[in-house]
Structures are given as C-alpha cells and as structure tokens.
Amino acid sequence: MSARLHPASAYKPHIFGKVLTSTTVPIHAFIICDSNGVAAVSENTVAAWIADANRIYRQVAMTFTLASVQIVTNRTDWFDIDSDVRFYNITSYTNMTGGLELYCVGGMYVPGLHSDMRLAYGDAMRGMAVRADADLPVLSHEIGHACGLSNMYEYDAGEGLVSEEKTYPLNWSGGEKTGYYAQTLAYRELTYRVIMHNHNQTDIPLYYLSGMYESLRVPISVGLQSNMNRQPAH
C-alpha cells in the first residue's frame, strides 16, 4: 500500500537569505556638558548604546566601534536640544570624520534624531543626536536612518492579516498560505517589530515592507535590500 502524505507535507516554506561580507563602521561620539561641566552621559553609556546596536545589526553583518570620544564643554547651549535649528547647529560641529557622528545631549524633544536624509554626504549638517535617558535601541533606529532607511511609523500599516502582498516575496516564504508567519498574525503587529517603526524594536527585514499612502499600498525602505547602505558615514 502506498504511503499517504500528511496534508501539511504539501507546504514547503523556505527562507530567503543572502550571504554578506561583514562591515565595520566607526562612531565618533561628542558628549555635551551642561553649564556646570557635567557630561550628558558617561562613555560607558555610549558603549552600551553601541553594544546594543551591534546586537541588532548583527543580522545584517554590521559592526560598530567607538572610534573616538570628545567631551564638549564650550557649547552648553547644546545640552538641551529644543528645536530643529539647535539640532542642526550641533550636527554642524564637525563633519567628514570617516564614520558616524553621535551627539550625546542631556535633553531633546525626541529620544533620538537624525538629520534630513536628503542631505548629501559631506554636508556639514549630517549627524545624529541621542538624549541621555534614551532606551538602548534608540541609537540603532537613528543608525538605520544613516543607512538610508525610512520611518515605518509615518505610514499606516492598513488592516488585515500578514500576507505576501503586504510583506513582498523576499520577506515571505513558501507559497500561498505557507509563509513563515502565523496566518493569524495581523500585519500591523508585524510592522511593530521593525527597528524603523519606533525606538524600541529590533528586526531588520530582508526587503521593503509596505504601508498605506492615502489609498495606495506603497513600499517603505526598512530592510537590507531596500537601498540600505551598510557602510554609512556622515
């Protein structure tokens, strides 16, 4: 008698992947002091932020090193960043360092901020800032912008369950109804896992994810193969 295949054997999901050459990105930290000369953060805090970035970016074969630390005592007006004007003043402090510029401040109107992604490489205003009380993954989110990735939260995920149409084939696996993700998973919940959704997530997809722009579903650059630069520099 011939063997009868279990119905589940018809489903053969597979995982798309890519072999990457590892990259190392230097980070130059500038720690701002208040009017009493007290530094916004310690070097150990910066090291912890970078260690967490290495944990997250390991999935795309990227490593970050703390290349230099400068304590800035002569710009106490930068200790609290309360406007975009002040943010761009601080990111213009230096440029062309051969790596990423990280400005560590005491306070800011958001946990972390990156300069406008439309600024060309070499523009003096390019850089990123993280405030003292930021959660560990905040730096990783801002590094994502340095790599050319976009904010997922600026788009509505739309309604419905996860699907190949919403995630695109390279973030999927197998065929119809045979993907890696549970069929009961809301697509909105999936987008919440992505580091570019907010400052407390960790996933970097392989490809674009999608979101709603008015009535259209459009690709959002949040993944490895969505124009991601793995050797970013300010």
Same domain, 59 and 166: no
16 falls in which pLDDT band (50, 70, 90)?
A: low
CA distance linking residue 70 with residue 211, whole number of Å:
40
Measured CA to CA, the distance from residue 138 to residue 118 in angstroms comes to: 21
Residues 96/121, Cβ–Cβ less than 8 Å: no
218 pLDDT more than 60: yes
Q: Which domain holds residue 57?
A: 23-146
213 & 171 share domain: yes
Together in a domain, 195 and 126? no
Distances (CA, A) of 80 to 101, 137, 190: 18, 21, 34
Residue 10 pLDDT exceeds 80: no
Look at the chain and report how many structural domains it folds into: 2
pTM: 0.91
Domain boundary among the residues 146, 181, 197 is at 146
5, part of any domain:
no
Residue 3's pLDDT band, with cuts at 50, 70 and 90, is: very low
Same domain, 134 and 160: no
Q: Can you tell me the mean pLDDT for 63-86?
A: 97
Pairing of strands 100-105, 23-32: parallel
Q: Which residues contact 113 (CB under 8 A, 6 or more apart)?
A: 81, 87, 128, 129, 142
